[in-house]
Structures are given as C-alpha cells and as structure tokens.
Structure 1
Amino acid sequence: MSPPLVLVDVDGVLNPFRRPHRRFRHHRVHPDGQSFRVWLDARHGRMLRALAAEGGAELAWATYWEDEANQWIGPRLGLPRLPFVPVPAFPGVEEGRSLGAWKARHVAAWTGGRAFVWFEDQADAAETLAGTPGVGDHLLVRVDPVTGLTPEHFEEAAAWLTGRRPGPPADR
C-alpha cells in the first residue's frame, strides 16, 4: 500500500495575496523568465516536512508552478526536490471551466487512487474531487488566499493523517 500524499499549492497557500505577518519574507523570483514577487514563511518548509514524516506521507507540489516550484519556492523553504502534478495551462472560463476544478481533475488523475491531503485555496476543487470516480480517500484543506497557510491548517491535516494510520493491536 502506497503512503498518502501531502499536496501543496503555492499561490494563495504558501504565497498569500498579502503579507499576513512579519515572518513572511519578500522574494523576487523568475520562473520562465517572468519576474514575480512572492511572500514566503521559511517555517512552512519545516512544518511540511514534519507533517509528512509524522503522518507517514510523501510531499508533492500541486500547483501551476509545477517543477518551477522546485527551483523558486522549495529552496527558500528548505524543501527537497519534490514530485509535482503536471497541470496543463488553464483553458479559460470561456470553455465553462473554473481554475480550481481544472487543477482538481489533474490532481485526481495524478494521485491514481492514493490517499492525499491537499492544501488548496480554490473552493471549487472540493466539488470536483468529490465527483471524480476512483479518486482516493482525501482531505482538501481549504486555505484563505489572503492569509495563506496557518498552524490550524497543519493541525487539521495531521489529525486526518493520524486517523488513517492503523493503531496498535488490541489487547487480547
């Protein structure tokens, strides 16, 4: 049985839309030659590694940054190179799709029935996951994109991962 996954989005999760407190540091990054400003809290890397280790899980990116997260985000958080969900460019709302639902379809396919926790800020991702045949047991931890990832989000994910592990054998 494969271990569960801990999937991490970047924008709105690790990189909130505004700086929520002074622990977040401003970084200038240049994925695909474009310049972006991101706010990152270095503690998140340690917290993600601890969550995965304690929950018997594997970390992976679930973000439009794809492998670029390994170059521009991960090193600033002290994360090793992580696998990533390949998410093709969003076709746009003119095709009747939402950003969260589009990414969620690709996450569901990539996880291949494995259990996962996903830190995500797109509210409509949960509906798509729930309606996807064959998607594994999962918890979508909804993150407010203005404030980003908080200790409460980690607590929610840890409780879910802990609840999935078999306990010690019952006394006979």
Structure 2
Amino acid sequence: MDAVNEPMTPLIMLAVDGVIAPFGRPGSQWQEHRVVADGLTLTLWLNPATGPKLLKLAEITGAELVWATAWDHDANVEIGPLIGLPTQSVCVVGQDAPPDLAAKIWCFKTPRIAQYTAGRPFVWFDDSLTLRDAAYLRGVEGVGDHLLIHVEPYRGLTDDHMERARAWLAKNRRPRGGS
C-alpha cells in the first residue's frame, strides 16, 4: 500500500480529571496519590492497571495515545508514571473555550481537539462530552471519523469504555507491514 492510500494512525484522546482520575474512589484497585499541578498539591485516585490497559488498547488497534486535558504537559510528569504510561503526545487544550464558540459547545476542549486531530480518526474519553460537542465536531470541515465516549466522573475509565473504543478502532486499524 502506498503512503497516499495508507490510513492515518487513529488517536486515543485522554482526559485526566473524571476519566483517568475519577472524583472519588470507585473501587479497591484505585490508589490515593498526591500530585502537583500549577504549583498546587492535589489528591487523586488512580488505578495502576489503567496505563497497561491503555497501552494494550493502543498496540492492538495501531492507535496513538494523546493527553487531552487541562493538565497539559503535567500529565506526562505527574499522571503517566503513576499508572505506567510512558511520555505521550499532548493536545494543549487551555482552560476556556474561545468566546465565539462558548454557546455552541459544552466541553471547552472541543475546538482544540478538532484542530489537533487534523482529519485523523479518533476516540475521545472525557467526562464533559455532550450532544453539543458531537454536533460541533460533525460540523467542522476536516474532522475525521470519531467516537466520543462519555465517562462517568465518579467511576472513571472502565473496561467497558475501552472495549467500545477497541471495537470502533478495529475498523480504523493501520496496516502493519505487508500488502
């Protein structure tokens, strides 16, 4: 297959708050950690099994993991090592939606996700996604196929969420060597 016809590598966009770090301890496998972001010490619940599961999901689907969180690059320093993730790419999302889009979306990250993904297929795990965000993404020219997976913020990312992503990403798998 030549480079022109080769599918683009799909992305797995990851939020931290409410997704990787639920608001509360959803089970005994979640461990309490103190982390620092923007000079503030925060207490988070993290499951050490999450990182290996995400790495496996990325490996079997040929996808790339990307932080899509207000933690920005701090996610690689403070969160990734605690759950077994190596340094990942970061979609810098900022803290606020552009004023002209605030009424069209719910999640402030949505316009930056649309820009960052640049036509690539993607799965986005977030606790702030609504139908307004889905409609916005459908209306932006050049946004690739995508699956938005709303994560309940007090439960965090579950195996069911990852299975939904795996099934969807299987349709967008990048070929590995060979014809």
Q: Same fold (TM over 0.5)?
A: yes
Partner SS, residue 101 of structure 1:
coil
Q: What letter corresponds to residue 84 of structure 1 in structure 2? A: V
Equivalent of residue 34 in structure 1, options 23, 32, 40: 40
Q: For residue 96 of structure 2, what is the aligned residue in structure 1?
A: 90
More helix by share: 1
Matched, 1:21 2:16: no
Q: What letter corresponds to residue 121 of structure 1 in structure 2? A: D
1:97 is displaced (CA, Å) by 4.6
Structure 1 unaligned blocks of 5 or more: 168-172
Query: Any conservation in 2 of the 1:92–1:98 contact (CA below 8 Å)?
Result: no
Q: What letter corresponds to residue 77 of structure 2 in structure 1? A: Q
Equivalent of residue 150 in structure 2, options 132, 142, 148: 142
Partner SS, residue 42 of structure 1:
coil
Q: For residue 164 of structure 1, what is the aligned residue in structure 2?
A: 172
- TM-score scaled by length of structure 2: 0.85
Q: Which runs of 4+ in 1 moved over 4 A?
A: 95-100
1:87 is displaced (CA, Å) by 1.2
Q: Say which is worse superposed, 32-41 or 98-107, in terms of deviation.
A: 98-107
Percent identity reads 42
Q: Say which is worse superposed, 81-90 or 157-166, in terms of deviation.
A: 157-166
Q: What CA distance in whole angstroms lies between the structure 2 residues aligned with 1:98 and 1:26?
A: 36
Q: What CA distance in whole angstroms lies between the structure 1 residues aligned with 2:122 and 2:102?
A: 27
1:102 is displaced (CA, Å) by 2.2
- TM-score scaled by length of structure 1: 0.89
Aligned positions, number: 166
What do the CA deviations read for 1:85-115 (whole angstroms, capped 9, x no partner)?
111221699x945884320110010111111
Q: For residue 104 of structure 1, what is the aligned residue in structure 2?
A: 110
Q: What CA distance in whole angstroms lies between the structure 2 residues aligned with 1:132 and 1:58?
A: 22
Q: What letter corresponds to residue 171 of structure 2 in structure 1? A: G
* Alignment root-mean-square deviation, CA: 2.1
